[in-house]
Amino acid sequence: MSNDRILALSGGVGGAKLVLGLSHALPAERLLVVTNTGDDFDHFGLRICPDTDTVIYTLSDLADRERGWGRAGESWGFMEAMRQIGGEDWFNLGDRDLALHVLRTDRLNKGSSLSAVTAEISDALGIKIPILPMCDQPVATMVDTPEGRLAFQHYFVRERCAPTVTGFEFEGIEKAQPNPAVVAALKENPAVIIIAPSNPFVSVAPILAVPELSNMLRKSGAPIVAVSPIVGGEALKGPAAKMMKELGMPASALEIARHYRGFIDGLVIDEMDAELAPAIADLGMEVEVAPTIMNDLNDRIELANRTVGFAARLSGGIER
């Protein structure tokens, strides 16, 4: 018998938007968020965890709504001073954001796990929803380009996603162990697993690549539904559509369905892509057509409700 918990897999700004909607649609004890750690990297000796931090700031309402990452009301004295003394300035660290990186790095250096320090910071910010990094071991998403291999943040921020991608590598993934809290939650048979509208290649793939995690997700018996990050042939935020084209795929919700085929039971697509529904259904998955563009909080809550409702309807028909 499944309990009624919802497990959401999230990376990037798009993922955090749906997580915010879910946090308003569900009581805190029903939601667990698993974050991608492949974007994490060391900068000035600080451990930076962007996808986890975006969820932390979003759920504590500290996030900058414009940027989607970092904190609102930020000041940039540190960056100005860094530039003045000739330090690297391609990655912007706000003065308040820095506190999180300094505290986390200090705790990690003293032996805390990423999960433990994430829980400590979440608690301090009054977040009741468990924010669970996919694993506590370091994993580094690398982006292969014709000019060579780039660390993810170099590709994404320093090079502004300009290089052509030819492939991805998740360095360290073979030594990664699924976050024990995620393993425990999966053993308690969650009701629903949601893949947020995150970049499938660099935000979702690292999570699904953690050894055994994909098997555990499927064995949990919970329906797995994804929300397409591609609407009308474009990614709403970030380089997903550009990556798909560079990898020789059409940038479409149908291609997203093909990408997740065999793993997900249902895909939520935008009304703009409604005509793709039959072709997606032909791939052997259920399809929900809904407004998936999240401009405000209400959109986020609406999409969260539609996605949970869709997945709950699938629970009856899951045979694995």
> What are the residues binding ligand FO1 (CB under 6 A)?
12-13, 39, 48, 50-51, 53-54, 69-70, 91-93, 97, 153, 156-157
Q: How far is the CB of 235 from ligand FO1 (least distance, A)?
A: 12
Q: How do 140-145 and 148-151 pair as beta strands? A: antiparallel
**Going by C-beta distance under 8 Å and a sequence separation of 6 or more, which residues neighbour residue 298?**
none
Q: How far is the CB of 94 from ligand FO1 (least distance, A)?
A: 7
Nearer to ligand FO1, 92 or 189 (CB): 92
Is 229 within 8 Å of 259 (Cβ atoms)?
A: no
User: In angstroms, what is the C-alpha Rg of the chain?
Assistant: 19
Is 166 within 8 Å of 144 (Cβ atoms)?
A: yes
Nearer to ligand FO1, 93 or 276 (CB): 93
Q: Which residue has the tokens 């433990």?
A: 116
Nearest CA to 124 among 106, 107, 100? 100
Nearer to ligand FO1, 220 or 228 (CB): 228
Q: How far is the CB of 253 from ligand FO1 (least distance, A)?
A: 20
Nearest CA to 70 among 89, 88, 47, 93? 93
How far is it, in rounded angstroms, from Cα 35 to Cα 147?
29
Nearer to ligand FO1, 157 or 279 (CB): 157
Nearer to ligand FO1, 86 or 317 (CB): 86
Q: How far is the CB of 232 from ligand FO1 (least distance, A)?
A: 21
CB atoms within 10 A of CB 81: 11
How far is it, in rounded angstroms, from Cα 207 to Cα 170?
10
Q: How far is the CB of 156 from ligand FO1 (least distance, A)?
A: 5
Nearest CA to 288 among 262, 319, 314? 314
Q: How far is the CB of 90 from ligand FO1 (least distance, A)?
A: 7
Nearer to ligand FO1, 54 or 220 (CB): 54
- 312: tokens are 């709950």
Nearer to ligand FO1, 17 or 259 (CB): 17
Q: Which residue has the tokens 């301090």?
A: 124
Q: How far is the CB of 32 from ligand FO1 (least distance, A)?
A: 20
Q: How far is the CB of 162 from ligand FO1 (least distance, A)?
A: 12
H-state helical runs in 68-179: 77-84, 95-109, 114-124, 152-153
- 183: tokens are 């393993």
Nearer to ligand FO1, 156 or 168 (CB): 156
